[in-house]
Copies of this chain bind each other. A is one copy, B any other.
Amino acid sequence: MLTLSKKAQAMPASPIRKLVPYADAAKKRGVKVYHLNIGQPDIESPKEALEAVKKNKLKVVAYAKSGGVDSLREGLAGYYKNIGIKVEASDIIITNGGSEALQIALAATCDPTDEVIVFEPFYTNYNAFALQNDVKLVPVTTKIEDGFALPSMAEVEKKITKKTKGVVICNPGNPTGCLYSKESLLELGKIAKKHGLFIYADEVYREFCYTDAPHFSCMHIPGLEDNVILLDSVSKRYSLCGARIGYLVTRNKEVSAAVMKFAMARLCSPSYGQIAAEGALDAPASYFKAVRDEYIHRRDVLIEGLQKIDGVICPKPMGAFYAAAELPVDDAETFAKWLLEEFSYNGETVMVAPMGGFYATPGKGKTQIRMAYVLKERDLKHALVCLKKALEVYPGRVEPQKAAKKAAPKAAPAKRCCKKKSC
């Protein structure tokens, strides 16, 4: 029978990308669409990366080694050393973006029906990677009224069963922008050690932290050498999303040997992308400083704008370049589609990602959206105007829920997303 697999039927369409045909149709009608739906920065890639590719001398674009180009792996070991993470080049395996890094990490460590704990809302594609490996994601909910801070570790321990293989943590977080504290990560480390769990540490937004303290990595937690599998990427760090270069880093030799077998099966990561990634390692500190300053500015523009819209609640993110907001709407997906299909203001509209697909608990996040503040100030301001005007006329507008209203004062504090020690 020419039937699809159960996985194919269960595989969710990406909430970030599935509305693209509606956006395309709007553009065809002449409507300008501001894309807040996707974390595609408009920041230029470092010229060191772009030039490395332009000046490449390849005559034969040959397979690279399955684990990655030696010089890139060595360069990365140096990068990690500079941020206090001691790893050898052989601990680093180059992957097809951070996506493949997590996909292989799960494949190498989890059997079908095994469980992995995840803090929801979480990056929606974790659903797909779990499904592809028949792994069950077990959510621990973080709340918008707490600024999406990590809950107490007692909440986490409640979810641990014999089938639990690990915990996925994204820090700073996508889609929340929440930056977890050193203290909360050390607590999580204790739980991982006690129960023998892997920590799948998605730190692709490491360079986007808006506090004065340096980023605290799960790789910094003492005594967890065998537990932590770091998932990393050049996509956001260097605005090289299309290069498709990520890294899986672990000091657990058994895991890295297994990961190498998966890497061999798909031969290698892209050669040109690896050239760009190696070039990017030469980007000066000033590149990151300028990028960070720009994102802080954009965040402030977005959050201040959102605060002025009646009924919208949005904690101030301290990392990454996302903000997760509660809207006074019946259904965020219906609203997002309506924005593209039926609404425009001065010939413009905005595309956002509805957040239902960022939760594993059915029904949660139905009135939340994720916005990526990856656009210039002017564009962000136009997008905010569209959002404000849209919420005024959207037929499915509802008054903010009681709970959300109550959360409002906490949700947008001056300096950090909340007062919880764990955030």
Asked whether any CB of chain B lies closer than 8 Å to the CB of A158, the reply is no
Range, interface on chain A: 35 or more
**Cβ contacts A256-282/B at 8 Å (1 or 0 each):** 001001101111111111001000000
- A351 CB to closest chain B CB (Å) equals 14
Asked whether any CB of chain B lies closer than 8 Å to the CB of A64, the reply is yes
Q: Kindly list chain B residues whose C-beta atoms are within 8 Å of the C-beta of A40.
A: 62-63
A124: nearest chain-B partner, CB-CB: B265
Q: Kindly list chain B residues whose C-beta atoms are within 8 Å of the C-beta of A213.
A: none
Asked whether any CB of chain B lies closer than 8 Å to the CB of A41, the reply is yes
- A412 CB to closest chain B CB (Å) equals 30
Q: Kindly list chain B residues whose C-beta atoms are within 8 Å of the C-beta of A125.
A: 265-267
B96 pairs with A96, CB closer than 8 A = yes
User: Which of A41, A59, A60 gathers most chain B CB within 10 Å?
Assistant: A60
Q: Among residues 172 to 228 in chain A, which have CB atoms less than 8 Å away from a CB atom of chain B?
A: 196-198, 226-227
Asked whether any CB of chain B lies closer than 8 Å to the CB of A38, the reply is yes
Q: Among residues 117 to 132 in chain A, which have CB atoms less than 8 Å away from a CB atom of chain B?
A: 125, 128-129, 132
- A217 CB to closest chain B CB (Å) equals 19
A198: nearest chain-B partner, CB-CB: B2
Asked whether any CB of chain B lies closer than 8 Å to the CB of A254, the reply is yes
- A345 CB to closest chain B CB (Å) equals 26
Residues of A within 8 A of B (CB): 1-9, 11-14, 17-18, 20, 38, 40-45, 49-50, 53-56, 58-66, 96-97, 99-100, 103, 107-112, 114, 125, 128-129, 132, 134, 196-198, 226-227, 239-244, 252, 254-255, 258, 261-262, 264-273, 276
